[in-house]
Amino acid sequence: MDWFSAGRNERGRGVAGKLTRLILLVALASLAGCGFHLRGQAALPFNTAFVEAGPDSVIASKLRNFLGQQNKLTDQKALATTIIRLSGENRAKTILSLSGAGKVREYRLTHKITVSAVNRQGKEILAPADIELIRDFSFSDEQLLAKEAEEASLRRDMDEDTLRQILRRLAFVQQP
């Protein structure tokens, strides 16, 4: 290949590159023009909230952190416009299947919690709703550390998913 044909290929890539950028720019402009935007977080329809839960509730801690970041958390029940109740939180790990030799091959992780809310006067504004998450994962004695890390990751994901479900329910609370 001589330098002349190499230069022509360079110019060809330049034109193709400019054309690609132009197409990308037109596509982005059309998306912006149609009003497309990413779904944001739903606004919570209350000013202050108090979270009632058991002392060891992981979800209550995450919910308090979130509400604190939104400046909607109060540590005094009497000052709250909404009282969020988390009850019956239960985490379990059960054997799902065994190998022919009697070794565990799969586990099932479950996480259950009930959420409800009342206003300052004690009137129910969110009926008790059960949230239950289930995750299955395979297990191997040869990969013990990796499987423990996988289980921890699944637990974190379940916690985040539970929190998102609670927040979605709270976003539709009707204040009297």
Q: Report yes or no: 108 and 116 within 8 Å, Cβ to Cβ.
A: no
Is-above-0.85 flag for pTM?
no
Is residue 171 a contact partner of residue 43, using CB atoms and an 8 Å limit? yes
The pLDDT tens digits for 33-92 are 665 544 556 678 889 999 999 988 999 999 999 999 989 999 999 999 999 999 999 999
Query: Which residues on neighbouring strands pair with residue 115, listed in sequence order?
Result: 86, 129
